[in-house]
Structure formats: C-alpha cells, structure tokens
Amino acid sequence: MADRYVEIALVKRGVTCTARLLDDRAPVTCEAVWQALPLGGDVYHAKYARNEIYALFEPFAATEPPLENPTVTPIPGDLCYFSFAGTELGARSYGYDREVPATTVVDLALFYERNNLLLNADVGWVPGTVWGAITEGLDEMAAACTDLWRTGAAGETLRFSRA
C-alpha cells in the first residue's frame, strides 16, 4: 500500500501541517480515520497532557478500533486517537463549553512539543493509539499551538482532511 497522508489545519489561524498515516503500526485505526475524513471541530488545548491540541467527535467507525501502537508519552508530531465514555469527560473541571454526550466520544489529538505524559488525575494512565506522524509543517503548527495556549482557542477549528 502506498503511503497515505492527512492535512491538519487550525482553520482560523490559517496554519496547516501534513502527517503520514502509520498504516503499518495502527492499520485498523488508520482505516477508520481515513474513511471518516474530512473531520473538523472545536479545538481544545490539553490541561494535563501538556503540549496537545485536540477535537472531539462522535464515533465514526462501525466498530471501535482496538488500542494499537500505544503510548502514554507522545512525542512531537504524534497524532493520537482516544476513545472515552462521555461520562469520563463530564466533569466541569475539564472546561468544555458544551455538554459532552454520555455516549462514546472520539478524541483526535496532535502533540506539538516534548515532555507529554498521558496521566489523568481522575482515571490514571490514558494510553492512546499513535496513528500518524507529522512530516511537514510541525514548527509552524507548534507556534500556532503555543499561540492558541496563550491567547485562547475560542472560535478556532481543528480540521483533519485527506492530503
């Protein structure tokens, strides 16, 4: 199979990067994401994992992908897939400005800098599936993510599409 690529964008900021799908390491997750593209939603900056931005989506795969190519220490350029019961994200302390559904929620995340640790004080370790690796535009995306952290995410969209 030829390499497949996705474009990730912070729409309002006009910043994009490109990532290669890790079909050899997370084939089920990659196929599920690929078939669902394009996807876009409100962007959030992580509170606990550190250098992460993400968007939440309703489940898009016929069957929830298994944990593949897992990590609890993502590195810069990793794209991760998480699946949560909505009740796991329902605490007001998470800061969502909308109701998180009680059903399953898919979290597609981009890690842009070092020293990330997927440890949640409410539930413990939160392993994610690494399904993509940024190949172009990481420095520009990291600068935009830092700006998002400092100036706010309100009104910004994180979009994933086929490249």
Mean pLDDT of 146-156: 95
HEC-encoded secondary structure of 23-79: CCCCHHHHHHHHHHCCEEEECEECCCCCCEEEEEECCCCCCCCCCCCEECCCCCCEE
Number of separate domains in the chain: 1
Q: What residue type is 16 in one-letter code?
A: T
What per-residue confidence (pLDDT) applies to 47? 81
What per-residue confidence (pLDDT) applies to 85? 80
Share the mean pLDDT of the chain: 91
What per-residue confidence (pLDDT) applies to 88? 67
What lies within 8 Å, CB to CB, of 143 at 6+ separation is: 15
Mean pLDDT of 106-117: 96
pTM > 0.85: yes or no? yes
Does the pLDDT at position 139 exceed 90?
yes
Q: What is the CATH number of the domain that holds 24?
A: 2.40.100.20
Mean pLDDT of 88-101: 57
Task: Pick the closest to residue 54 from 62, 46, 64, 63 (CA basis).
Answer: 46
The tokens for 108 are 């597609």
Place 124 in a pLDDT band, splitting at 50, 70 and 90.
Answer: confident
Model confidence pLDDT, tens digit, residues 79-89:
999 998 866 66
**Range(s) of the domain holding residue 27:** 5-162
